[in-house]
Structures are given as C-alpha cells and as structure tokens.
Structure 1
C-alpha cells in the first residue's frame, strides 16, 4: 500500500517536471517560452519596436546578451534617425553617450521648471550648517560647527563625518569622489573619503585670513582678505603661484575648464586671471550700484559666469566678450549661493520655498527624523518680501544635481528637493 502510494506520487510529480524541461511546442508554460529561449533575430525585432531611448537603455542593462544585441544592431542610432530623419544627411557622427547626456539634461531642465517637488528635511548637525556641496549622488554639509557630514542625496542616509582641527573654524570646503578639501583662515585640510585627515599649513605664513576657496584636483585656489589668490598643489603641499585679483578682499572664487581663475570682491567687481601666467585678463563690473559679490558659478561649456550679490542681484557675463548678458534683481535679500547646471538656468538661493506636509519619520545616523514636505511654486513676479518669513527661511547654501537641489539654512537642518517629472 505504501509502496503503491509512493509510485503514484512519483508519477504524478514527474509528468509536470518533464513538461517544464521540454523545449518543444505544446500548450505548456515552460522555459521554452521565456525570453532566454528566443533567438537573437527575434529579440532584435522586439527591441526595434521600442519607441523610447530610455526603454532601450533599460533593456540593454538586463544582461550581457541583450546589451550585445542592442549595441551590435545599432538600435539606439536607428531610433535616433527615426525621430530625427534630417540627421541622416548630416556629417555629424551619432554618439550614444552624447545623445543620452543631452536627453538627461533636457529631462532635468523640464522637471525643474514644470515638475512636482517633494522636500526631505532632517536635522543634520548639532549646531549649524551654512554650506552644502553635491556631487555624484553625495551631499557634503557643514561650516558653522566643527564637523563636515556626508549624506546620500537619494535616501538622505548618513555616510560619514570629518572633524575640523581643534580651535580652527571652517571657512569653505569642496570634495570629489576621493577626497574632501576644507579651508580654515590659515590652513588647508584634506581628508580621504575613507581615511584619516591630512593637514598642511601655508609655508612661512604665505597666506592668512583665507575667505574662500575653489578646488579642482590637484590644486586648490584660496582667496584672501588682502585681495590675492594663492594656488596650492595638494600633492607637493606647496604654493605654486600667487595672483593679485583685487585691491579689496576676495569674497568668492570659481575655476573654469579653460584654466581661468574668477574672483569676486567686496567692491562688486569680478576679476579674471590666467591660471598659468597669473596675468589679469579682465574685470567684470555691474551696471548697478556696486555691492559685494557673494557667490560665483561657472558654466562648463558655454563660457558664462554667474554671480549673486549682497543686494539681491543676479548677474551673467560672457567671458569671451567680458560683457554682461543680463543683470536682474531676484530678491530683496542677499544671494548667498548660486549654482549652474548645464542646460538649465541658474538656481539662486532666493527662489525656493516649502510648506509643511506631515510625513512618516525615519531614523538614520545622527539625525532624528526625516520630514516630508511639498514645495509651493510662486509667480515669477512675486514679491518675496511680502511672503511671511516662516514660509521662506533663509537659504545660505545651495547645490544642484540631476533633478535634485540641496539647501542649507544657517541652522542645523538640511533639505533635499526632489523634482519629479
């Protein structure tokens, strides 16, 4: 009896197993019916019917064989020519990388101008955070207390922190994928992203009263109270050159891809110097009453320089002609920070607001909770000074990433603005 039951179970359990392993026809739903069993020509035919480049990109990331079919079949190029038939007669070679970069930037720009916004806010520092930087999905915040903290821009998760030397006050900082560079009034501090701090002081008191810095590996440029800019090589730990930019304090700095040093001043002018020779190439001035230039931002590929002033004016100059393209007052308050993202108008620290929306708190790292808020768009001609101050907290630091903006507010909380298409 028991043996018979066992054989019966074996037979009833074995038949479905045989059907599943069969690659033939029939009406069963076996492995022979999955995408893995389709020949390359069939998959290529399916992929060619996709009408969106990002759908193709997602498919190419599924596995190596799909990626090979899409790339060797030139499906990206064919879809591009299908959408842009006039490009077939053009002499310009189609580049998948360049095309996707353009698509991404256009999507980013349209999302920032017409998409919905969700704001994530959390307590990030024990005292204050007045400055933020964002690169490659990471956010670095600090200045106001003696600690820098690194966060994930996507989930606001705490990643690491870096302590400033005792008795020193942080003035400015920046970072990349490997290291973090901070400036005190007389020292440059370097931290490895996952290692100890390294500090070197200026040799023989070369610079003092440092006010700002700009970093592009392997050099850091320091702007000082006496109007000079000091260029330090971080590997030789020595000053490679000194440039006289202004007769007044240098308040902010920017480095361009074509080896120019741009420095703002308390007199309201912006000096341009050649990074290699130190020669001052020009002086940018505003048509309005001179005020302190508080922030600078350069455009990587368009030869544009943007600035914000203490009187609320935003400026844009063309570095090739040294002439202003536009100047407009965007705020009755100081513009503390400005950031330019390719393909997108400048974001200034005056135009962002949020109204509270209760969300479920989340615990992570040193912060207590993450609040979720909805952003509220205001009219371009709205008078910001007529909006209650509790709805427009001061923004002291701002950085722009792909469909994200990070802000600090002179207090101990941080905000990540996520823009949805």
Structure 2
C-alpha cells in the first residue's frame, strides 16, 4: 500500500524535485495502522492478515481480531485477556464465521459483475492471492491487478523464448512456464531475472509451484522438477503414459497429475515414487484439478463436462457428476472453504457446486441489459458494471445469448468474489458477490 503526503513541509530543494513524496505503510506507527484497520469489518480484516506478514503482525498485535471475536459472541468491553491456549480456537471460529458469510454469498446472494479489458488479446490463465490477480495469455505480458480497485499494479514482460503456458506467484516473485523454460521475475521488477537453461523437453502443458520447486507436466507423461534455489532441473518423475494435462501439490509433498482417459497419478516428491493411480468413470481427458488441503479432497474436471471428487486419505472416489454439457476449463475453491466449488468452462456459465455431494447450487451469467459504466481508480481503464443472473440447473443454456456467457478459460476464488478470464478477445470479468461494494 502506498500513501502520498503533501510536500508543504519539505525543504525547498525537495519541492523542486517533485510535487509529492511517497510514504509506505511501513513508515506509519502502530497507532495509525490500528486506526486504519479498525474501520474494517471482520471479513476484510481477516483478508488483510493474509496480505503479508507485517500486516498480520500489526493486526494481531492490536488485538482487533480478539475484539471482533468477542463482539460476535455478544461480549463487549476492553478488559479481557485471551490465553495462549485459547488463541487458536477463537481465531479458527472467527475464520469459520467469515467463511460462512463467503459461502452464503456464493450460494444465494445477488451478483454484481465488473468487467474490463485486461489484455489486447485473449486471457488464458489467472491466479489470485492476497487480494491480487495475475493474468496472462497470448500476449507477451502478464499483468498484476488489484481486485478492489481494478488497477494494474505491475507488468511482467515475457522473454522471446516461446509462448506463456502457465504461471504462479507469491509475495516476492512471479514464476512462469514460457515455452520449455522456467522464468522468474521479482515482484517489483518488470524484466525477468532468470530463465532456465538445458533440459529441453517435449512441450509442457501445465505447471505448479510451491517454493522452492516448480514442476512442469509434459506431453511425454513425465513431470520435470526445477529447483528454484539451485536454478537447475533436479529430477524427472514418470507419472503417465500419455500427456500430463493438469498438476497440483498437496500439503504433504504429494504431486497430483491428471492426464488422458480420466487417469490421475499421485507421486511422493520426497522419493519420486508413485503412491496411487486413480481413474474416473467416463474416461474423458482431465482438463483441470484442484486440491483442498483442509478436507484432503481432490476435485477434477474433464473435457466431457464431468466433475469428480476423491478422498486422498482413503484413495477412493466420493462422487462423479455431469455438471456441464461440454469442456470444464477450471475448478477452484477458496482456501479453507470445504463447502463450495466454482466451476467454469466452454458454455460460459459460472457454476457453484456443493463440495460434499457434487450438487449444483446455482449458475451465474451476465445480464447484458444492465450495462453501466463504473468509475475506476485508474484513469486509463474503462470498467463496466453489470448485474448477474442466477440460472437453475435445468435451464436451457443453449437458448441463452452467448454475449451473456462468454467461454470461461480460467477462474479464481477469493473472499466473496470469483474472478473469471475469457478468450472473447479482450475481456476479463470480475464477479463481486454481496458485501463487496
């Protein structure tokens, strides 16, 4: 966060150099930071604790979460102390309350859609963390956006070594699979600082990244592991006989890879040994997967529009249902939410699905007649606000206009919001559910 201060109190020499002097939040004392955060509700404060360690420490030190916890329970007053043994309990209960509101909004709330042109070409991928969304596609640039202001905060230009296939980011860096190379950018720099050499392999289709390793899934059924600190390809893991189409990590260092004919392979990264192989019923190519670390459940989507759920502790299928008439491109959930999945694909309907049984809770499309310009904080960005329409499971999707449901290439889920990106040339849609605006 950057704040600006007037230069009225600066020496004349500083006045001549510029009209404003930037001040970062790190320069503010604890009392000012506490005042800023105290104006937020508990959902937004919990989101702020996930932005960075300094914000989390400032919020915990000020005891804002403790105060909100007691208010939620109907206990008021400043004279209380929370023992160390109970700290984890009230934090979890407060997080559960925030997730409950998130679940309620996704399930049944009205929908506002904020849409803008994110790239000059179509957008294939998006990742959302810490209130930020990273997007990229066929153009030679990735862009980092604020999901609150819709401002482009940074651009990362690709080297001339191939097209962008997949990417991810954390607090300090951006990692991308560009052609057959792993490229790194520092978050505060536009030019990539490193591009891997050697180990030329068959075209990679997907990448997953958890510091310090990036893993590339390739057409030959093998996963190549890149050591970020050693800056070298460290090993190769045989996962499938056919192309690896999607990848994910579990919290216990298991590598999960989906492939053709509905097959799932699970390998132990510490030993490179295959732990299990699973297979869906319809044998269609798997197009997407995501893993819920809280419930230990794996969710997969196929090119035939079927979604499956797997308990990785028992290595058994929980459910498998047809949720779309055609390709599912992306399945995601918010971290720690074990109730709702967001799914999107070729037919352009954003579907919200019960994680426990696969039942479709609702579907969302745009109401084109509700178009309205929204004033963004960026002077060079036009944001259009529209209303969303919830459609029932048995609605005739084929009779709905395509302009109301452009194909969803990828999606990401945050607190009370879903970001979707599209290949209809130039657009990116941000869906806000109640409580955001």
Query: Normalized against structure 2, the TM-score is what?
Result: 0.75
In our comparison, the structure showing a higher alpha carbon Rg is: 1
Deviation at 1:386, TM superposition (A): 3.5
The answer as to 2:168 corresponding to 1:174 is yes
The answer to whether structure 1 residue 399 and structure 2 residue 412 are counterparts is yes
Q: Does 1:319 align with 2:312?
A: yes
* CA offsets 1:57-106 (integer angstroms, 9 cap, x no match): 9xxx9x99x957996xx884596497xxxxxxxxx946332122111111
1:139-154 equivalences in 2 (<5 Å): 139-154=133-148
- Taking the aligned partners of 1:56 and 1:307, their CA distance within structure 2 comes to 32
Distance 1:280 1:388, change over 3 A: same
Shift of 1:248: 0.2
Residue 309 (structure 2) pairs with residue 296 (structure 1): no
For the 8 Å contact 2:374–2:384, the answer to whether it is kept is yes
- Of stretches 353-362 and 398-407 in structure 1, the one that deviates more from structure 2 is 353-362
Could you tell me whether the CA contact under 8 Å between 2:113 and 2:388 is conserved in 1? yes
Aligned to 1:419: 433
Change in 2 beyond 3 A, CA 1:388/1:78: closer
- 2:396 and 2:204 mapped to 1: Cα distance? 36
Q: Which has the higher strand share?
A: 2
Matched, 1:355 2:374: no
Please report how far the alpha carbon of residue 224 of structure 1 lies from its aligned counterpart in structure 2 after TM superposition. Answer: 0.4
Aligned match of 1:193: 187
Aligned residue pair count: 353
SS of the aligned residue for 1:101 comes to helix
Residue 393 of structure 2 corresponds to 380
Task: Measure, in 1, the Cα distance between the counterparts of 2:284 and 2:293.
Answer: 26
**Which residue of the other structure, out of 118, 123, 133, is the alignment partner of 1:124?**
118
Q: Secondary structure at the residue paired with 1:103? A: helix
- 2:340 is aligned to 345
| Bigger mean CA offset, 385-394 vs 226-235 | 385-394
The answer for the alignment partner of 1:328 in structure 2 is: 321
Counterpart of 2:365 in 1: which secondary structure?
A: coil
Higher helix share: 1
- Structure 2 counterpart SS, 1:396: strand
Change (3 A) 1:320 1:367: farther
Q: Does 1:390 find its partner at 2:383?
A: no
Aligned-pair Cα RMSD in Å: 2.9
- 3-state SS, counterpart of residue 336 of structure 1: strand
Partner of 1:16: none
CA distance, structure 2, for counterparts of residue 248 and residue 209 of structure 1: 13
CA distance in 1, matches of 2:222, 2:306: 25
Q: Could you say which residue in structure 2 is the equivalent of 1:43? A: none
**What residue is the counterpart of 2:361 in the other structure?**
none
Secondary structure at the residue paired with 2:373?
coil
Structure 1: distance between partners of 2:142 and 2:153: 11
Is the CA contact (8 Å cut-off) linking 1:184 and 1:210 kept in structure 2?
no
> C-alpha separation between the residues in 2 aligned to 1:265 and 1:99?
38
Question: 1:382: Cα distance to partner?
Answer: 2.4
Q: Deviations over 1:360-400 (max 9, x none)?
A: 34366596410000000011232423423222210011000
Unaligned runs of 5+ in 1: 1-51, 83-91
1:256, CA displacement in angstroms? 0.7
Hey, what's the Cα distance between the residues in 2 that align with 1:141 and 1:233? 24
> How is 1:197-236 mapped onto 2 (pairs within 5 angstroms)?
197-205=192-200, 207-236=201-230
Return the alpha-carbon distance in structure 2 between the equivalents of residues 385 and 311 of structure 1.
Answer: 16
Instruction: Specify which of 248, 252, 255 is matched with residue 246 of structure 2.
Output: 252
SS in 2 for 1:112: helix
Distance in 1 between residues matched to 2:232 and 2:379, nearest whole Å: 36
From 294, 302, 310, the equivalent of 2:303 is: 310
How big is each residue's C-alpha offset from its partner over 1:113-171, in whole Å with a ceiling of 9 and x where there is no partner? 12111100011111121211111100111111111011100111111111111251001
Corresponding position: 1:112 with 2:106: yes
Partners in 1 of 2:255 and 2:396 — Cα distance?
Answer: 35
Q: Indicate the residue corresponding to 1:38 in structure 2.
A: none
* 1:105 and 1:343 in contact (8 A); partners too: no
1:209, 1:56 → 2: CA distance? Answer: 43
**What CA distance in whole angstroms lies between the structure 2 residues aligned with 1:185 and 1:400?**
27
Take 1:56 and 1:368, find their aligned partners in 2: how far apart are those partners? Answer: 28
Encode CA deviations 1:332-356: one digit per residue, 9 max, x unaligned: 1211111022233211004341112
Given the superposition, is the C-alpha separation of residues 154 and 230 from structure 1 closer, same or farther in structure 2, using an over 3 Å criterion? same
Question: Aligned partners of 1:172, 1:372: CA distance in 2, in Å?
Answer: 29
